[in-house]
Amino acid sequence: MKAGAGARTRAKIALKQTCGRATDAQGYVDLPQANLIDGVRLEQFERDLREGDGNELRLKFCAVHSSAALAVNCFAPFKDRPQDLSLLGEQGATAIRFEKRMQIIPGRRPSNLDVWIERGSSAVGVESKLLEYFEPTKPVFAEAYKAMEPDSEPCWWAVYKAARHGTAQHLDVAQLVKHYFGLRRFQAAAGEPLKLTLLYLFWEPSNWQDVVECGRHRQEVEALARQVEESSIEFRWMTYPSLWREWASIPLLARPARNLQARYEVPI
């Protein structure tokens, strides 16, 4: 099993090699457009990212290892044709946007979902990860989040309490808990029944079984899924490569799936 600080570096090098564009030493292209695969256009997502809270377009988006760029390359084509989207066993969508803000506590920074997919009486909020989880993260919460207890389900509140005193791990639990809080607020404000799903969608190298960090990350994701399986906001997870394999079997989506695989499916 491969381990150590070099795994993230090896992944950056591998992704830089498949980018097909000139980059600087850190793996950044000069313009956002240079980080797009065939079939993706700047006008499909530029406004969303500029209005979002993450400042993704100007800074991090230009990295060949950007999780925001990965999400855009994967979902931007469906902005033009949302009815073609196939995700989580369901076909179609009514609207798709990037960098969806979810206000949790007035006056504090909102939760920021990478992709927001509306499907009539349901919606899917997507948290996208590429290399972030290769380095462990310690959960951090401001004291203000204690006010969310009355609005939270017991299963997620137990996760929050454990995370507050937890140690660093590959899964960013604090971020997912905050997404849950934001979705609960959104659900309460909707004024009508709305089925919500929080999808944790992450990249893995093609040889993920040989990479210690990937194995540990999966274990942590699976543990969280078990902890919150009774939640009214469904928590789902899947890998980008598994999604692309599904799309590759659908004639309408086979070409974009191949483009994504050519760009991102690499061993490290």
What is the rounded distance in angstroms from the CA atom of residue 238 to the CA atom of residue 133? 14
Number of separate domains in the chain: 1
Q: How far is CA 19 from the centre of its chain?
A: 20
- Residue 49 domain-assigned? yes
Please state the pTM of the whole predicted model: 0.95
The DSSP element (H or E) to which 111 belongs, if any, is: strand 111-119
| pLDDT category of residue 68 using cuts at 50, 70 and 90 | very high
pLDDT at 4: 46
The larger pLDDT score, comparing residue 133 to residue 57, is at 133
- Residue 11: which of 66, 56, 76, 75 has the closest Cα? 66
- Residue 165 domain-assigned? yes
Assign residue 107 a region: left if phi > 0, alpha if psi is -120 to 50, beta otherwise?
A: left
pLDDT in tens, 146-158: 999 999 999 999 9
pLDDT at 76 over 60: yes
> Using DSSP, how many helices (H) and how many strands (E) does the chain show?
9, 7
Tell me which DSSP letter residue 57 carries.
T
11: Cα within 13 Å, side-chain hemisphere? 29
What is the rounded distance in angstroms from the CA atom of residue 34 to the CA atom of residue 52? 21
Name the burial class of residue 129, with classes exposed (0-12), middle (13-18) and buried (19+) by CB atoms within 10 angstroms of its CB. buried
pLDDT at 54 over 80: no
In a 3-state reduction of DSSP, which class is residue 21?
coil
pLDDT at 33 over 80: yes
Compute the average pLDDT of residues 92-113.
Answer: 94
Between the alpha carbon of residue 199 and those of residues 23, 123, 153, 234, the distances in Å are: 31, 10, 18, 8
CB distance 187 to 234 below 8 Å: no
What is the rounded distance in angstroms from the CA atom of residue 71 to the CA atom of residue 114? 7
- Residue 1 domain-assigned? no
- Residue 90 domain-assigned? yes
- Residue 201 domain-assigned? yes
CB distance 177 to 140 below 8 Å: no
pLDDT in tens, 108-134: 889 999 999 999 999 999 999 999 999
pLDDT at 57: 64
Contacts of 255 (CB under 8 A, 6+ apart): 39
Domain with 19, as residue range(s), is 6-264
- Please report where in the chains the tokens 């690499």 appear, as a residue: 266
Q: Indicate the residue type of 108.
A: R
